[in-house]
Chain A
Amino acid sequence: MSKTTKWLLAVAGVLIIIFSLQFNLQADDEKEEKHPEVDFTQSCMECHKEVTPDIVRDWEKSKHGVMNFGCYMCHGDGQVEFYRKPSTETCLSCHTGEPVDARKGGNLQCFSCHNGHSLKFHQ
Chain B
Amino acid sequence: MGLTRREFIKTSAAAAAAASLGTSLIPGAASQLFADSTKWHKSVCRFCGTGCGVMVGERDGKVVAVKGDNLNTINKGHLCVKGFYLHKIVYSDTRLKHPMIKKDGKFQRVSWDEALNFVAERFNSIRKQYGPDALAFYGSGQAETEETYMANKLYKGCIGTNNMEGNPRLCMASAVGGYLTSLGLDEPVGTYDDIEQAEFFMLIGSNTAECHPILFERIIRRKHQNPNVKILIIDPRKTPTDQITDLHLFPKPGYDLAILHAMARIIIKEGYADEQFIKENVVFKDNKKDLTFEEYKQFLEKYTPEYAANDSGVPAEDIVAAARMFGRAKTAMSMWTMGINQRTRGVWANNLITNLHLLTGKIGKPGCDSFSLTGQPNACGGVREGGGLCHLLPAHRSVKNPKHREEVAKVWDVPVSNIQPKPGKHTIAMFEALNKGEIKGIFILCTNPAQSLPNAAKYRKGLEEQFVVVSESFFPTATTKYADVVLPAAFWTEKEGVYGCTERRSQYMPKIVEPLGEARWDAFILRDLAIRMGFKKEFEKYKTAEDIWNEYISLTKGKDMDLSGATYRRLKKVRGLRWPVPSEDHPGTYKRYVQGDPLFDELPREKKKGRWIYFYGKPEGKAVVWARPDKGPEEPTDEDYPFALTTGRVLEHWHTATMTGAVPELNRAVPKAYVEIHPEDAKRLKISNKDQVVIETRRGSLKIEARVIDRPEPGTLFVPWHWEEWMINNLTIDAFDPGSKEPEYKVCAARIKKA
User: Contact mask A55-95 → B, CB, 8 Å, 1/0?
Assistant: 00000000000111111110011111101011111101111
Does A118 lie at the interface of the complex (its beta carbon under 8 Å from any beta carbon of B)? no
Is the CB–CB distance between A93 and B66 below 8 Å?
A: yes
A–B pairs, 6, beta carbons within 8 Å? A43-B668, A43-B670, A68-B213, A79-B664, A81-B17, A96-B69
Is the CB–CB distance between B77 and A79 below 8 Å?
A: no
Is the CB–CB distance between A68 and B220 below 8 Å?
A: no
Chain A contact residues (Cβ within 8 angstroms of B): what range?
Answer: 35 or more
Is the CB–CB distance between A79 and B13 below 8 Å?
A: yes
Closest to B13 in A: A80
Is the CB–CB distance between B209 and A68 below 8 Å?
A: yes
Q: Within residues 180 to 213 of chain B, which ones have a CB less than 8 A from any CB in chain A? A: 209-210, 213
Does A40 lie at the interface of the complex (its beta carbon under 8 Å from any beta carbon of B)? yes
Is the CB–CB distance between A97 and B668 below 8 Å?
A: no
Does A41 lie at the interface of the complex (its beta carbon under 8 Å from any beta carbon of B)? yes
Is the CB–CB distance between B68 and A66 below 8 Å?
A: no
Is the CB–CB distance between B210 and A92 below 8 Å?
A: no
Q: Point out the residue from B17, B25, B34, B76 that lies within 8 Å of A80, measured CB to CB.
A: B17
Q: Which of B32, B666, B668 has the most CB of A within 10 A?
A: B668
Is the CB–CB distance between B671 and A43 below 8 Å?
A: yes
Does B3 lie at the interface of the complex (its beta carbon under 8 Å from any beta carbon of A)? no
Q: Point out the residue from A70, A76, A80, A93 that lies within 8 Å of B14, measured CB to CB.
A: A80
Q: How far is the CA of A73 from the CA of B669 in the complex (A)?
A: 9
Residues on B facing A (Cβ under 8 Å): 6, 9-10, 13-14, 16-17, 24-30, 32-34, 55, 65-70, 76-81, 84, 209-210, 213, 216-217, 220, 240, 243, 651-652, 664-672
Q: Point out the residue from B84, B651, B652, B667 that lies within 8 Å of A94, measured CB to CB.
A: B84
Q: How far is the CA of A44 from the CA of B652 in the complex (A)?
A: 13
Chain A residue contacts of B79, Cβ below 8 A: 93-94
Is the CB–CB distance between B13 and A70 below 8 Å?
A: no
- Please judge, given known A-B contacts A43-B668, A94-B68, whether A73 and B81 are in contact too, CB under 8 Å: yes
Is the CB–CB distance between A85 and B27 below 8 Å?
A: yes
Is the CB–CB distance between A73 and B55 below 8 Å?
A: no
- Please judge, given known A-B contacts A67-B213, A81-B664, A109-B30, whether A97 and B671 are in contact too, CB under 8 Å: no
Chain A residue contacts of B68, Cβ below 8 A: 93-94, 96
Q: How far is the CA of A78 from the CA of B34 in the complex (A)?
A: 24
Q: How far is the CA of A69 from the CA of B666 in the complex (A)?
A: 11
Is the CB–CB distance between B27 and A83 below 8 Å?
A: yes
If A85-B27, A94-B84, A96-B67 are given as contacts, then 17 extra A-B residue pairs at C-beta distance below 8 Å, sorted by A number, are: A41-B671, A42-B671, A67-B209, A67-B217, A68-B210, A68-B240, A72-B668, A73-B84, A79-B13, A87-B25, A87-B26, A87-B29, A92-B34, A96-B55, A96-B69, A103-B30, A109-B30
Residues on A facing B (Cβ under 8 Å): 40-45, 66-73, 76-81, 83, 85-90, 92-97, 103, 109
Is the CB–CB distance between A93 and B25 below 8 Å?
A: yes
Chain B residue contacts of A97, Cβ below 8 A: 70, 76-77
Chain B residue contacts of A88, Cβ below 8 A: 30
- Please judge, given known A-B contacts A41-B671, A70-B81, A90-B25, whether A77 and B209 are in contact too, CB under 8 Å: no
Is the CB–CB distance between B76 and A93 below 8 Å?
A: no
Chain B residue contacts of A72, Cβ below 8 A: 665-666, 668-669
Is the CB–CB distance between A80 and B30 below 8 Å?
A: no
Closest to A72 in B: B665
Is the CB–CB distance between A66 and B243 below 8 Å?
A: yes
Is the CB–CB distance between B28 and A77 below 8 Å?
A: no
- Please judge, given known A-B contacts A80-B17, A96-B69, A96-B77, whether A44 and B27 are in contact too, CB under 8 Å: no
Chain A residue contacts of B30, Cβ below 8 A: 87-89, 103, 109
Q: Which 9 A-B pairs have the closest CB atoms?
A: A97-B70, A96-B77, A72-B665, A77-B664, A77-B668, A87-B27, A80-B17, A96-B70, A80-B13
